[in-house]
Copies of this chain bind each other. A is one copy, B any other.
């Protein structure tokens, strides 16, 4: 029921995923009459793999997490997470209020043993591929131990995406040992001692985009600022280039070529908007699609959830943490 545009684009994305993936079963949680209306016209074969579960309340985009937690026991978000907790579904995907989703996820699902706080991770495009950046805003103040936990979680997440030995780096304002704040310096010491993590040292903001690491770890304040400023910069650059093309290019063909290219680039550079961000460290798979993601964005978020189910991400994380902490 969430997202900036309500359930319409979410249902549309769900139906597209159902058609594309014959093994997929989807459960839509929300107001049944509205959802029934939106899925009207679906083929009988696909409809058989689609369940609707009723939830009478909706958490709004500007609701405070504490309010969402206490005030709305029958919200679509909470009911979906309870289905996950009870083993009725294998993952939960939402385009709703991020803070509320995190608070409800922690409350309903609980964190994995050894994890104090779940983290949000998304894939950021780089000059050589992608890097997993975490935390993206779930945790404002982080200790060195939290950063270590994020590093472990990011490393496992990158492995599920096909990177055998992910290069893990700590985001910092320099690459020398003396640089950075206390948490970052201490986290470096912890990571150097951690077994089974391919820790490569500090990385700077430009090194991230050069593709020098597969996993980049930072606190949620820094990660959120980096992500949103990158989105803003990409949007600004796209607007400038568009304006320049409109001004300078006589040929319509050139404009026709350049504009889709810009749109693609912009989508690529707004990865959390485009592909969804995973919540890591919970006893269950939760993927957050951006509130303004649209149909394609929500499809990508469902795809990410499917990969995490196939790779059994929470179990693998649990195993890795037991190794590391034993």
Cβ contact within 8 Å between A236 and B126:
yes
State how many angstroms separate the Cβ of A277 from the closest Cβ of chain B.
Answer: 14
Tell me if A239 is interfacial: C-beta within 8 Å of chain B.
yes
Out of B180, B228, B229, which one reaches A140, CB within 8 Å?
B180
Tell me if A20 is interfacial: C-beta within 8 Å of chain B.
no
Binding site for B on A (CB under 8 A): 62, 64, 125-127, 137, 140-141, 171, 173, 176, 178, 180-182, 204-210, 218, 220-222, 224-237, 239-241, 244, 248-249, 251, 254, 257, 261, 265, 269
A141 and B181 in contact, given A221-B173, A248-B257 (Cβ under 8 angstroms): yes
State how many angstroms separate the Cβ of A181 from the closest Cβ of chain B.
Answer: 5
A205 and B181 in contact, given A173-B225, A225-B171, A261-B244 (Cβ under 8 angstroms): no
Residue of B nearest to A270 (CB): B206
Most buried by B among A176, A182, A234, A237: A237
Cα A235 to Cα B222 in complex, Å, equals 21
State how many angstroms separate the Cβ of A156 from the closest Cβ of chain B.
Answer: 24
Residues of B with C-beta under 8 A to A64 = 178
Residues of B with C-beta under 8 A to A207 = 232
Cβ contact within 8 Å between B226 and A205:
yes
Cβ contact within 8 Å between B225 and A205:
yes
State how many angstroms separate the Cβ of A311 from the closest Cβ of chain B.
Answer: 28
Cα A62 to Cα B176 in complex, Å, equals 9
Out of B127, B231, B241, B251, which one reaches A205, CB within 8 Å?
B231
Cβ contact within 8 Å between B233 and A234:
yes
Cβ contact within 8 Å between B180 and A206:
no
Residues of B with C-beta under 8 A to A224 = 173, 205
A249 and B241 in contact, given A234-B233, A236-B127 (Cβ under 8 angstroms): no
State how many angstroms separate the Cβ of A320 from the closest Cβ of chain B.
Answer: 27
Residue of B nearest to A127 (CB): B236
Stoichiometry, as copies per complex, reads 2
Residues of B with C-beta under 8 A to A261 = 241, 244, 248
Residue of B nearest to A266 (CB): B237
Out of B62, B205, B222, B232, which one reaches A227, CB within 8 Å?
B205
Cβ contact within 8 Å between A230 and B230:
yes
Residues of B with C-beta under 8 A to A222 = 221-222, 225
Residues of B with C-beta under 8 A to A230 = 205, 229-230, 233
Cα A97 to Cα B172 in complex, Å, equals 18
A-B contact pairs, 10 of them (CB 8 A): A62-B176, A64-B178, A205-B229, A209-B229, A210-B235, A222-B225, A225-B225, A234-B237, A241-B261, A254-B254
A180 and B221 in contact, given A210-B232, A233-B230 (Cβ under 8 angstroms): yes
Out of B178, B180, B233, B251, which one reaches A233, CB within 8 Å?
B233
Cβ contact within 8 Å between A206 and B231:
yes
Cα A232 to Cα B131 in complex, Å, equals 14
Cα A281 to Cα B227 in complex, Å, equals 30
Residues of B with C-beta under 8 A to A209 = 229, 232-233, 235-236
Cα A156 to Cα B122 in complex, Å, equals 38
